[in-house]
Amino acid sequence: MTRLVGIFKSKNIIMKSFSFTADELQTGRRLDAVLTEKYGDFSRSQWSKQLKLGLVKIDGKLAKSSDKIKFEAKIGGEFPLLETNSLIAPASQPEIIFEDSNVIVINKPAGLVAHPTAKLSQPSVAGAFLDKIVDSDLLRPGIVHRLDKDTSGVMILARNEATKDFLQAQFKDRKVKKIYTALVLGHLDRETARIELPLERSKKNPEKMMVSSSGKMAVSEYKLVAEYPGYSLIEVELLTGRTHQIRAHFAHIGNPIAGDRLYGKQILPAGLDRQFLHASLLSLEVAKDKKMTFKAPLAKDLKVFLGGL
């Protein structure tokens, strides 16, 4: 639910309401930490300000940042998002792989975010297709799932809310096949393997995810495609969909994604301007009993980098 209020220097700000019931993993933790993890587009300091303004409640009572959450506590409130004109179209529209009356499937270029955040208005996938989508979510119209800004490849959008619910249910129920192509540093011990490591947001750096026994289980399966001097090209299938799952998993086992400055080396390899990660395949039902598979060839900049190894 959203509403508009004339505050913050008389600008129109979208206020979005939220509510959820605390689960076992959230029990006993500080409220501000849980809110930051659950709604990552809003920083911990921003959540603290909202709590001080009395805009968050636990079981109907005003809450504080330091409150420890009890199991099945009802948490709710509202927070400001962006101005109503925050959705900006990029200079050029992403390539459309498939389109019908319910979905748009694109080959997202690197450098383009899926949607703007509470902290920054910028060109986005959501802004690129505003005229083709009917969705009451003013910040993320049509957005079913996300790819990181510097990850390229297949991404699906819903053109209406019924389809959005239908597609998101498949992602939630793990019925979507997602395969990525990645180049990692070093050589792997096995040509194929399954990685099962729980992930949670880092307390030291909220921008990163980390392997932790208190996190949510994340499962990735990979197979080796080719080896290069100092690198391994792999295909990774995500069996869960945690934030930064591939990046965090492979950094943890000592083989970070090439060009990943958040999880790997700070200096980019010569000839690579971003992380070498590409969503190459997405398979799901675009409508009831209508399953389709979409592929996107490896992005040109990644092909060029491989060719120089």
Contact present, 51 and 65 (Cβ < 8 Å): yes
The b/e string for 133-157 (b: 16+ C-beta within 10 A; e otherwise) is bebebbbbbbbbbbbbebbbbbbbb
Catalytic residues: 148
